Amino acid sequence: MSIRFVDSTGQFVLETADTCYQMKVDEMGYLQHLYYGSKIGQNDMSYPFRTYDHGFSGNPYEMRLNRAYSLDSMAQEFTSFGVGDYRVTSFRASFSDGSRCAEFHYVSHEIVEGKYAIPGLPSVYDNGESVHTLIITLKDFAVNVEVKLYYGVFEELNIITRAVEIVNTGKDIVWLRKASSMCLELPFGKWDMIHFHGRHCMERQPERVPLFHGVHTLSSGRGMSSHQHNPFIILCDRDANEDAGKCYGVMLMYSGNHKTEVERDQFDGVRIVTGVNDDRFRWELTAGASFYTPEVILTCADGLTQLSHNYHRVIRRNVVRGEYKLSHRPVLINNWEATYFDITEEKVMAIAEKAKALGIEMFVLDDGWFKNRNDDNAGLGDWVPDTDKLPNGLDGLIAKINALGLRFGLWIEPEMVSEDSDLFRAHPDWAMTAPNRAPMMSRNQLVLDLSRQEVHDYLFATISGLLEKYNISYIKWDFNRSISDVYSHSIPSPRQGEVAHRYYLSLYKLYDRLTKQFPYVLFEGCAGGGGRFDAGMLAYSPQIWCSDNTDPISRLKIQYGTSFGYPACTVGAHVSASPNHQTGRKTPIHTRGVVAMSGTFGYELDLTALSDEDCAQIKEQIARFKELEPMIHSGKLYRLSRMSDSTHYVAWQYVSEDQDRALLNIVVTNPLANSAPVHVRLKGLLPDAVYSVGGEFECRGAALMSGGYTFPRLTGDYPAVQLDIIRIK
- Measure the CA angle with vertex 109, ends 118 and 127; round to 5°: 40
- Angle at alpha carbon of residue 198, lines to 193 and 201, rounded to 5°: 150
Q: Indicate whether 433 and 540 sit together in one domain.
A: yes
Q: Which of 26, 140, 376, 548 is catalytic?
A: 548
* DSSP class per residue in 333-382: EE-HHHHTT---HHHHHHHHHHHHHHT--EEEE-SS-BTT-SSTTS-TT-
Q: 3-class SS at 430?
A: helix
Domain assignment present for 640: no
Give the count of domains, the chain: 3
- Which among 305, 89, 69 has a CA at the least distance from the CA of 182? 89
In a domain, 323, yes or no: no
| Position 403 in a domain | yes
Determine contact, residues 385/393, Cβ cutoff 8 Å: yes
Same domain as 432, residue 358: yes
CA-CA distance, 576 to 606, in Å (whole number)? 9
3-state SS track over 291-343? EECCEEEEEEEECHHHHHHHHHHHHHHHCCCCCCCCCCCCCEEECHHHHCCCC
CATH of the domain at 663: 2.60.40.1180
Catalytic-role residue among 366, 367, 449, 478? 478
State the pLDDT at residue 62: 85
155, 79: one domain: yes
Domain residues for the domain of 620 are 332-634
Q: How far apart are CA 124 and CA 17, in angstroms?
A: 18
* Same domain as 615, residue 664: no
Which pLDDT score, from 0 to 100, does residue 61 have? 75
pLDDT at 335: 97
Query: Any catalytic annotation for residue 478?
Result: yes
Q: Do 78 and 159 have their domain in common?
A: yes
Among 318, 340, 370, the domain-final residue is 318
Position 76 in a domain: yes
pLDDT, tens digit, 9 for 90 and up, residues 104-127: 999 999 999 999 999 999 999 999
Which CATH number is 209's domain given?
2.70.98.60
Instruction: Map residue 688 onto helix, strand or coil.
Output: coil
Residue 167 belongs to a domain: yes
Last residue of a domain, one of 610, 634, 658: 634
Same domain, 277 and 421: no
The CATH number covering residue 408 comes to 3.20.20.70
CB 142 within 8 A of CB 11: no
Are 110 and 221 contained in the same domain? yes
Let me know if residue 641 belongs to a domain: no
What pLDDT score was predicted for residue 18? 97
**Residues 700 and 612 occupy one common structural domain:** no
What is the per-residue pLDDT across 398-423, written as a single tens digit (0 to 9) for each?
A: 999 999 999 999 999 999 999 999 99
Q: Is 175 exposed, middle or buried (CB count within 10 Å of its CB: 0-12, 13-18, 19+)? A: middle
Q: Which of 602, 634, 666 is the last residue of a domain?
A: 634
Judgement on whether residues 340 and 308 belong to the same structural domain of the protein: no
Is residue 325 in a domain? no
Asked whether residue 377 falls in the same domain as residue 511, the answer is yes
The answer to whether residue 553 sits within a structural domain is yes
Same domain, 600 and 685: no
Q: Are residues 303 and 344 in the same domain?
A: no
> Can you give the pLDDT at residue 68?
82
Q: Is 612 a catalytic residue?
A: no
pLDDT of residue 29: 95
| pLDDT profile of the chain (729 residues), mean per 10 | 92 97 95 96 78 77 81 93 95 95 97 97 94 98 97 98 98 98 96 98 97 97 98 97 98 98 96 98 98 98 98 98 95 97 97 98 98 96 97 97 98 98 98 96 97 98 98 98 97 97 98 98 98 98 98 97 98 98 97 98 98 98 98 97 82 98 96 84 98 95 97 86 96
Reference 223, options 531, 443, 543; nearest CA is: 531
